Homo-oligomer: A and B are copies of this chain.
Amino acid sequence: MTLMEECRRTVPDTVRKIAEEEGVRPEKLARRVAEGRVVVPAHADRRDEVRPVGIGEGLRVKINANVGTSPEVCDPDLEVEKARAAVDHGADTVMDLSTGGDLREIRRRIMKAVDVPVGTVPVYEAAVEMTRRGRAVVDMDEDDMLRAIERHMEDGVDFMTVHCAVTLDALEDVLRRGRALGIVSRGGAIVAAWMIHHDAENPLYENFDYILELAREHDVTLSLGDAMRPGSVLDANDAAQHRELVVQGELVDRCREAGVQAMVEGPGHVPLDQIPAVVRLQKRVCDGAPFYVLGPVPTDVAPGYDHIAAAIGGAIAAYHGADFLCYVTPAEHLALPDVKDVILGVIATRIAAHAADTARGMKYARRENEEMAEARWNLDWDRQFELAIDPKKPRHYREERPPQAKELCSMCGEYCAIKILKDALEERR
């Protein structure tokens, strides 16, 4: 039985644990998992190993960090270190997107190194195998794609992105009407190129029942990829994107019928005024399935700082209902991220999630903001650092620029607003 099926009958332990942590009723959470409005990614073989993480309606916004080698930079130790750093700084899940080196071995090492759910994109491996056999990526056949999926399921990944929802209709939209920036999803481009080359429908769509069988067997959560996610704010919300969204909705229904957990991936690059509509539409069309967004970035001119752009878009998306934010690092659009980039990406994304949870009235966020206000009123710096999303950096600022008056800071010194007001109030008593 998959977790979703179990939740239709009872309240599994995993769900109880999450309910307690999140402060929701266990029965309510189990119902949401049963209905597919919350996912708990954990491979059948890893249910007792993996930290229970719930993603979806009514829960704290979660964040994912991507790591993985590339053909250009292949250092498995570095990727393990990045995965660990991501989790240490607060990532709720990790995806291994490796395309260089011994992919299976790297995957296993990353899954061992962290206790959070791990996701992958098997079609990358299918592509890498073709290249290594001296063939073009588009020379793969549908069995190559499906075998990669099967292999990842057997290896125990907890969730995986499958680009099943991009169909010839949507591709035709891109080809006929044009786009500022074509297709920028890596997996999406592989599948689309295959469809163009073979002039054939998406084999992952056509074989979706088989994928469901595999996912059901291993209780792997499917993340329905968005091949057509815009790569420029100018392409946001075009016909291609929405054709794919409608198919994602269809596939969500089929997942639920099969007892397979599913979430839906979304954009990408979106002007901020359009973000609320994107989220609401997804929630409607996909009947409340958890929404997993990459960014979105609301401007295209911030390379080197796309973690900041993505924090803007991610906060707005999460406030309007996105459940799961994929981090964006400062290296996005430029290079494979290093450890420092990973940490900055995680922190920026956590700020976005916290801002959203604050606006959504989540109790934990309110309590943390209250405690921070109290620590600031008390000029209690150690407590401020403890409460900070990242305690290290603010502590470093203070150690680097210590104030002469210990309780104050070097910005205002004796003209500290809090101190001036407190003194006046004290005198008044």
Contacts and interface: CB of A to CB of B under 8 A. Distances in A.
A148 interface: no
A304 B393 contact: yes
Contact of A388 (B192, B304, B355): B304
B423 A193 contact: yes
A428 B195 CA distance: 11
A309 interface: yes
Interface stretch (A210-218, A248-256, A403-411): A403-411
A70 B183 contact: no
Interface of A is mostly: helix
Contacts of A225: none
A336 B410 contact: yes
Interface stretch (A21-29, A33-41, A285-293, A370-378): A370-378
Interface residues of A, number: 119
Interface string A29-60: 00000000000000000000000000000000
A347 interface: yes
A388 B303 CA distance: 6
A90 to B, nearest CB: 11
Given A186-B417, A319-B273, A305 B351 contact: yes
B335 A398 contact: yes
A72 B421 contact: no
A421 B192 contact: yes
A138 interface: yes
Which residue among A136, A332, A358 has the maximum number of chain B CB atoms within 10 Å of its CB?
A: A358
Contact of A372 (B192, B193, B300, B384): B300
Ordered nearest first, which 8 A-B pairs have the shortest CB separation? Answer: A304-B393, A189-B417, A193-B424, A232-B373, A71-B413, A180-B373, A298-B355, A304-B394
Given A197-B424, A234-B370, 18 more contacts: A70-B411, A70-B415, A71-B414, A180-B374, A183-B417, A183-B421, A189-B417, A272-B315, A272-B355, A299-B354, A300-B369, A301-B389, A303-B388, A309-B351, A312-B312, A330-B393, A331-B401, A336-B411
24 contacts: A71-B413, A72-B404, A72-B408, A128-B415, A193-B421, A232-B372, A233-B358, A271-B359, A272-B319, A298-B358, A299-B351, A299-B354, A299-B365, A301-B388, A303-B393, A304-B388, A304-B393, A305-B393, A311-B312, A312-B351, A333-B384, A333-B394, A335-B411, A338-B401
